[in-house]
Amino acid sequence: MSDLAARLSAIDDRIADAARLAGRDPGEITRIVVTKFHPASLVRELHALGVREVGENRQQELTAKTAEVSDLDDLRWHFIGQAQTNKASAIRRAADAVHSVDRDRLADALHRAADDDSILDVLVQVNLTDEEGRGGVQPEAAEGLAEHILSLPSLRLRGVMAVAPLDEDPASAFARLRATADAIRAIEPSATWISAGMTGDFAEAIQAGATHLRIGSAITGPRPDRG
Ligand SMILES: *Cc1c(COP(=O)(O)O)cnc(C)c1O
């Protein structure tokens, strides 16, 4: 077994263990492999190992990589990074889901970028820190943003996304995300996704109800120089 295959299967075992510990079915949890800073060849290796959900956090890298592996047409690309409004069109062309919608103007730009009758999956990114500018809407503004997204017919509101703060126990941060997720699901019952959990905190995220984990380095190995 390659190192990559071994790391992938070790993570999947840990996801299954964490799910069982939380009384959840591992089959209801989607593991997205974050491939940022790694070459498209890694995406190809992951695909050969059965990975179908991949994540990128920068538009240019997303655009370049999706073009390089466009023959792998059953991959689903998740955009998880902070997005500039003027990149919305490029993001929409390359991504199947955008986890990082954190303001009305970005939702509007993604909606305007629809060039056919496709529907883009989007999540409201919630800022779990008290610093503005960290990416994400403050929890108290999340429902308003969700309502706005629901008014845009080319977007499908799927749920919420967050990154745990560095200076807080992830379990308590994810509990706040869960409360926001529940509030949004009360508005739109089909918005069931909770995108949370990275290499260092996916067990806590699973405990808090995460449906989509975004795992990078534990699977891909350390990221090459950001150059
Ligand atoms: C890089 C990144 C991840 C994955 O991080 P790891 O710690 O390598 O698992 C998850 N979410 C976001 C938003 C990221 O930018």
pLDDT interval class at 226 (50, 70, 90): low
Q: Quick check: 185 pLDDT over 60?
A: yes
Q: What is the CATH number of domain 3-220?
A: 3.20.20.10
Structure confidence by residue, pLDDT tens digits, 143-153: 999 999 999 99
Residue 218's Cβ-side half-sphere holds a number of Cα atoms within 13 Å equal to 20
Neighbours of 72 (CB within 10 A): 16
Q: Which of 14, 31, 80, 201 to mutate to test the pocket of ligand 1 (most atoms within 8 A of CB)?
A: 80
* Distance between Cα 114 and ligand 1 center (Å): 27
pLDDT band at 115 (very low <50, low <70, confident <90, very high): confident
Any atom of ligand 1 within 6 Å of the Cβ of 213: no
Distance 40 CA to ligand 1 centre (A): 17
29 ligand 1 Cβ < 6 A: no
- Over residues 11-50, the pLDDT tens digits come to 999 999 999 999 999 999 999 999 999 999 999 999 999 9
Helices (H), the chain: 3-21, 40-48, 59-68, 88-94, 104-112, 139-150, 170-187, 202-207, 217-220
From the number of C-beta atoms within 10 Å of its C-beta (0-12, 13-18, 19+), residue 3 rates as: exposed
DSSP state of 27: G
- Does 65 sit in the ligand 1 pocket, CB within 6 Å? no
Rounded to the nearest whole angstrom, what is the distance from the C-alpha of residue 117 to the centroid of ligand 1? 31
Q: What is the pTM of this model?
A: 0.97
pLDDT one-digit tens code per residue, 55-81 = 999 999 999 999 999 999 999 999 999
